């Protein structure tokens, strides 16, 4: 059994959380709130020391921004910080609307940078990968045909502007079967992921804390 | 209440207890089952295996302690392979609560493999908004990361001499528990065209096979199973391989639960049909 | 000014950033590079805003002695403690790393590990072969569950892994591709609506 107080603390916190499996209780609630506080504190430290300091404060103190030299660079560096500070006007009822300016900027930049790439990645590249020549020379070709049929019927299922009847309804039915296989696969993988996380904690308790296994 | 009604209404705490015991049982009575290697993991391995010595590989890690059980063994196996091949690793972390964890893991592995900071690997640290960081890294790593995690300017690190952006690297392998994978495909691979491989949690893996099919990524290491496969490929069995026998046992138990639940459901349904 | 200016800012930023993909001129490249850093700097302030909101929420709970206000003291004390250690010492200090390794890491790891129990319970209760569609879902899940672990190969002489591989690489790819194409079209349409000022929900209400 471990003699490290840190391991003991971690083990006790682990057991407090597992106690929720029996029913909700004050030990679990305590650890839950502790988790929120510690995480937020950690966030604050990392974003200030690892991000704000290096991308903003350091170049500002040095009086030179690598990207744009000279006084213009310093202005262009201070500007986003000024916009960032405007976010805090949300705490005032009177001035809260000013916070919309930096938010609008974030949205604008995000949207502008993503429109062409989203279309390319989610639509064009996926269409290209679906529209492949099928020669029936290998099993992969059969698979490609299956994918093409699956994508078309899947899209038909999501098309609600026409009633799902007749041939269209049949295609939609095949589409939902394909989608169900996709969701089933995801569920299988999800079970796997969650069990892996449990294994990690049990190994910690049995190996690092209790020392039962090597 | 008959036996089947009791089965249907089984207290969930009994299920919890059985799951807990089914994790402990194979852990104590160790069982080794051979692990089959999937093509998507072998692709990643082969790509790294065939890189020339001294090549730079970018390993962005976007996970925190909540998913470390799956991704830590994966990172260890990948780093072991990279350093056995004498590749140089540029690591970074875009998941705020995981930065310390990743820094410790890389340091630990470097110590195991006798690798020197600044010469064989560097850790860039954290920046928010992965999409923007990927974009700026595509132009020059120094735009978002003028200094590394420890505050050392990148230009003063020997391994970063001549390494400006993704053009000077051979592969990006993101070990990821977030939607950041999409950013790496969207803003990274699509814009800058570098080869991209992903190591993700099992829960995410199923969502990325269409990128594999479209050739946008070269391989997927999915969850603890993927990590165990990689451990087998690098001939160094660790926590992931150990976890596989437990995983097998728990999956069998869950499938058994599903079968029992369905038998009870059909028996009750049949009885109700007869009663009617 | 309250709505028009934000709409104009969104449009100008989005238009320039979209345009730069099609105009490979150095001036547009620089604008793109600057915008990437701007997002990161504004983003830091947005995160700090979130933390201040959290502090205010718990402070209000303590001030008005709302239900479970005692736990809010735990949250605030741990937040202040953790940030003071990190800001005064550093993110590499042994105390900060100790708090991370033995408090933050085990708690968040265990929180997610709890889900294993709930997903097992959910599988037992909800996975019923009631209809054809439900049966397909169930079978796909079971095949993947058994096919992705080593024992699946042993009990089926390699059939389950092969079936899982086929399911994941073909029907799963088709399903996910159909979904992602829908997502892509939806995202592009919404992005255009934001850019043109039709979608304004991000501004909140007056």
Mean pLDDT across the stretch B75-102?
96
Residue bearing tokens 């402990």: B24
Chain C residues with CB inside 8 Å of B104's CB?
97, 101
What pLDDT score was predicted for residue B57? 97
Straight-line distance from the first to the last Cα atom of chain B, in angstroms, rounded to the nearest whole number: 18
Q: Which fold has domain B39-243?
A: Rossmann fold (3.40.50)
Chain A residues with CB inside 8 Å of B24's CB?
202, 206
DSSP C102: I
Which run of H or E residues covers position A133?
none
- Secondary structure (H, E, C), C157-196: CCHHHHHHHHHHHCHHHHHHHHHHHHHHHHHHHHHHHHHC
Minimal-distance CA residue of chain A relative to B177: A193
Chains that touch A (3 or more CB pairs under 8 A): B, C
Q: Do B249 and C151 touch (CB under 8 A)?
A: yes
Please give, rounded to a whole number of angstroms, the shortest distance from the CA of A71 to a CA of chain C. 15
What pLDDT score was predicted for residue B2? 83
β-pairing verdict for B171-176 and B121-126? unpaired
Question: Given CB atoms, is B167 within the 8 Å cutoff of chain C?
Answer: no
Q: Do C150 and B202 touch (CB under 8 A)?
A: no
| Chain A, window 144-203: residues with a beta carbon less than 8 angstroms from a chain C beta carbon | 146-151, 153-155, 157-158, 175-192, 194-195, 197-198, 200-201
Confidence at B138, pLDDT banded by 50, 70, 90: very high
| Chain B, window 189-248: residues with a beta carbon less than 8 angstroms from a chain A beta carbon | 190-191, 201-207, 210, 213-216, 222-225, 239, 242-243, 246-247
pLDDT tens column, C109-137: 999 999 999 999 999 988 899 999 999 99
Q: Do A105 and C42 touch (CB under 8 A)?
A: yes
Q: Quote the CA–CA distance of B226 and A189 in Å, as a whole number.
A: 12
Question: Given CB atoms, is C177 within the 8 Å cutoff of chain A?
Answer: yes
* Angle at A101 (CA atoms; ends A98, A105), nearest 5 degrees: 165
Complex prediction ipTM: 0.91
| Each residue's pLDDT expressed in tens, for chain A with a length of 214 residues | 889 999 999 999 999 999 999 999 999 999 999 999 999 999 999 999 999 998 999 999 998 888 888 889 999 999 999 999 999 999 998 899 999 999 999 999 999 988 888 899 999 999 999 998 888 788 888 899 999 999 999 999 999 888 999 999 999 999 999 999 999 999 999 999 999 999 999 999 999 999 988 7
Q: Do B69 and A190 touch (CB under 8 A)?
A: no
Helices (H), B113-207: 130-139, 141-144, 180-183, 190-192, 202-205
DSSP lists the bridge partners of residue B176 as B62, B200
- Secondary structure (H, E, C), C65-94: CCCCHHHHHHHHHHHHHHHHHHHHCCCCCH
| Chain C, window 28-87: residues with a beta carbon less than 8 angstroms from a chain A beta carbon | 30, 32-35, 37-49, 51-52, 54, 56, 68, 71-72, 74-83, 85-87
DSSP codes joined into one string, B163-174: --SGGG-SEEEE
Mean pLDDT across the stretch C72-88?
96
Please give, rounded to a whole number of angstroms, the shortest distance from the CA of C103 to a CA of chain B. 11
Minimal-distance CA residue of chain A relative to B11: A22
Chain A residues with CB inside 8 Å of C38's CB?
79-80, 83, 105, 109
* Angle at C88 (CA atoms; ends C83, C92), nearest 5 degrees: 80
Q: Do A109 and C35 touch (CB under 8 A)?
A: yes
- For chain A, give every domain's residue range: 132-214
Question: Given CB atoms, is A46 within the 8 Å cutoff of chain B?
Answer: yes
- Which of A207, A204, A213 minimizes the C-alpha distance to A13? A204
Task: Give residues with Cβ within 8 angstroms of C85, minimum separation 6.
Answer: A45, C93, C95, C96, C99
Choose among A43, A54, A129: nearest Cβ to B97.
Answer: A43
Q: Do A117 and B191 touch (CB under 8 A)?
A: yes
Question: Given CB atoms, is A199 within the 8 Å cutoff of chain B?
Answer: yes
Choose among A46, A120, A186: nearest Cβ to B126.
Answer: A46
Task: Give residues with Cβ within 8 angstroms of B167, minimum separation 6.
Answer: B192, B194
Is the pLDDT higher at A135 or at C95? C95
Q: Do C117 and B207 touch (CB under 8 A)?
A: no
Confidence at C206, pLDDT banded by 50, 70, 90: low
Q: Quote the CA–CA distance of B78 and B234 in Å, as a whole number.
A: 9
Q: Quote the CA–CA distance of A167 and A165 in Å, as a whole number.
A: 7
Chain A residues with CB inside 8 Å of B185's CB?
121
CA dihedral B254, B255, B260, B264 (to 10 degrees): 100
Residue B276 has pLDDT above 80, yes or no: no
Token pair of A186 as six digits: 């995801």
Residue bearing tokens 């026998």: B245
What pLDDT score was predicted for residue C147? 94
Choose among A39, A106, A122: nearest Cβ to C39.
Answer: A106
Mean pLDDT across the stretch C156-169?
93
CB B207 within 8 A of CB A186: yes
Choose among B12, B206, B248: nearest Cβ to C150.
Answer: B248
Residue C93 has pLDDT above 60, yes or no: yes
Confidence at B260, pLDDT banded by 50, 70, 90: very high
Mean pLDDT across the stretch B145-168?
93
Question: Given CB atoms, is A169 within the 8 Å cutoff of chain B?
Answer: no
Q: Do B23 and A147 touch (CB under 8 A)?
A: no
Q: Quote the CA–CA distance of B101 and B67 in Å, as a whole number.
A: 11
Question: Given CB atoms, is C124 within the 8 Å cutoff of chain A?
Answer: no
Exposed/middle/buried for residue C51 (C-beta within 10 Å: 0-12, 13-18, 19+): middle
What pLDDT score was predicted for residue B275? 55
Is the pLDDT higher at A140 or at B260? B260
- Which of A105, A53, A59 minimizes the C-alpha distance to C35? A105
- Which of A71, A77, A114, A105 minimizes the C-alpha distance to B143? A77
Confidence at B119, pLDDT banded by 50, 70, 90: very high
pLDDT tens column, C16-30: 999 988 998 889 889
Mean pLDDT across the stretch C78-97?
95
Q: Quote the CA–CA distance of A189 and C111 in Å, as a whole number.
A: 19
**Chain mean pLDDT for chain C:** 92
- For chain B, give every domain's residue range: 39-243
pLDDT tens column, A136-160: 788 888 899 999 999 999 999 999 8
Residue B83 has pLDDT above 70, yes or no: yes
What pLDDT score was predicted for residue C200? 85
Task: Give residues with Cβ within 8 angstroms of A77, minimum separation 6.
Answer: A56, A59, A60, A65, C41
Please give, rounded to a whole number of angstroms, the shortest distance from the CA of A176 to a CA of chain C. 8
Q: Quote the CA–CA distance of B188 and B209 in Å, as a whole number.
A: 18
Q: Do C117 and A110 touch (CB under 8 A)?
A: no
Confidence at B274, pLDDT banded by 50, 70, 90: low
Q: Quote the CA–CA distance of A43 and A46 in Å, as a whole number.
A: 5
Sign of torsion, CA C126 C127 C131 C134?
positive
């Amino acid at each position: 059994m471990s003699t490290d107080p840190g391991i003991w603390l971690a083990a006790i916190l682990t057991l407090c959380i597992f106690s929720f499996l029996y029913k909700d209780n004050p030990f679990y609630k305590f650890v839950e709130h502790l988790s929120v506080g510690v995480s937020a504190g950690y966030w604050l430290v990392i974003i200030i020391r690892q991000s704000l300091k290096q991308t903003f404060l350091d170049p500002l103190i040095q009086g030179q921004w690598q990207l744009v030299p000279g006084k213009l660079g310093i202005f262009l560096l201070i500007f986003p910080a000024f916009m960032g500070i405007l976010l805090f006007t949300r705490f005032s009822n009177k001035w809260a609307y000013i916070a919309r300016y930096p938010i609008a900027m974030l949205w604008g930049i995000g949207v502008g940078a993503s429109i062409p790439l989203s279309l390319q990645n989610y639509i064009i590249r996926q269409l290209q990968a679906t529209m492949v020549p099928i020669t029936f020379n290998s099993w992969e070709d059969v698979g490609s045909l299956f994918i093409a049929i699956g994508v078309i019927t899947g899209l038909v299922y999501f098309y609600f502007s026409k009633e799902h009847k007749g041939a269209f309804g049949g295609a939609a039915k095949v589409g939902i079967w394909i989608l169900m296989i996709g969701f089933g696969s995801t569920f299988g993988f999800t079970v796997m992921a969650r069990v892996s996380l449990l294994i990690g904690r049990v190994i910690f308790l049995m190996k690092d804390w209790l020392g039962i296994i090597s | 209440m008959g036996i089947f009604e009791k089965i249907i209404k089984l207290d969930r705490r009994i299920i919890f207890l059985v799951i807990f015991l089914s994790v402990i049982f194979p852990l104590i009575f160790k069982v080794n089952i051979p692990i089959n290697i999937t093509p998507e993991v072998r692709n990643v391995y082969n790509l790294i295996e065939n890189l020339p010595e001294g090549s730079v590989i970018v390993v962005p890690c976007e996970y925190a302690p909540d998913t470390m059980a799956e991704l830590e063994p994966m990172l260890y196996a990948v780093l072991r392979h990279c350093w056995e091949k004498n590749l140089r690793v540029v690591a970074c972390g875009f998941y705020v609560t995981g930065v310390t964890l990743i820094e410790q893991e890389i340091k630990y592995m470097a110590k195991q493999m006798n690798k020197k900071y600044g010469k064989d690997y560097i850790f860039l640290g954290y920046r928010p908004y992965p999409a923007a960081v990927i974009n700026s890294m595509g132009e020059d790593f120094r735009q978002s990361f003028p200094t590394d995690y420890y505050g050392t300017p990148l230009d003063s690190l020997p391994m970063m001499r001549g390494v400006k952006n993704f053009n000077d690297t051979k592969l990006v392998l993101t070990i990821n528990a977030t939607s950041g994978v999409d950013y790496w495909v969207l803003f990274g691979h699509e814009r800058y065209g570098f080869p991209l491989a992903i190591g993700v949690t099992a829960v995410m893996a199923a969502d990325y096979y269409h990128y594999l099919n479209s050739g946008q990524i070269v391989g997927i290491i999915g969850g603890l199973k993927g990590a165990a496969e990689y451990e087998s490929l690098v001939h160094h069995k660790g926590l992931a391989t150990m976890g596989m026998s437990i995983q097998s046992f728990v999956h069998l138990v869950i499938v058994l639960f599903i079968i029992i639940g369905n038998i009870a459901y059909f028996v009750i349904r049949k009885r109700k049909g007869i009663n009617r | 000014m309250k709505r028009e200016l934000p709409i104009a800012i969104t449009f100008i930023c989005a238009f320039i950033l979209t345009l730069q993909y099609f105009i490979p001129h150095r001036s547009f490249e620089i604008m793109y590079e600057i915008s990437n850093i701007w997002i990161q700097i504004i983003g830091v302030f947005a995160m700090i805003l979130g933390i201040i909101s959290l502090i205010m929420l718990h402070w209000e709970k303590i001030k008005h002695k709302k239900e479970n206000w005692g736990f809010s003291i735990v949250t605030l004390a741990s937040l202040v403690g953790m940030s003071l250690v990190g800001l005064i010492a550093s993110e590499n200090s042994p105390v900060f790393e100790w708090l991370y390794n033995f408090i933050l890491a085990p708690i968040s790891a265990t929180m997610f590990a709890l889900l294993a129990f709930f997903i097992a319970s959910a599988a037992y209760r909800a996975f019923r072969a009631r209809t054809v569609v439900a049966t397909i879902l169930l079978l796909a899940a079971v095949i993947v569950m058994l096919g992705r672990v080593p024992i699946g190969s042993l009990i089926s002489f390699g059939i389950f892994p092969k079936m899982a591989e086929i399911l994941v690489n073909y029907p799963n790819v088709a399903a996910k591709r159909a979904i992602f194409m829908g997502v892509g079209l939806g995202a592009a349409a919404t992005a255009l609506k934001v850019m043109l000022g039709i979608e304004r929900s991000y501004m909140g209400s007056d």
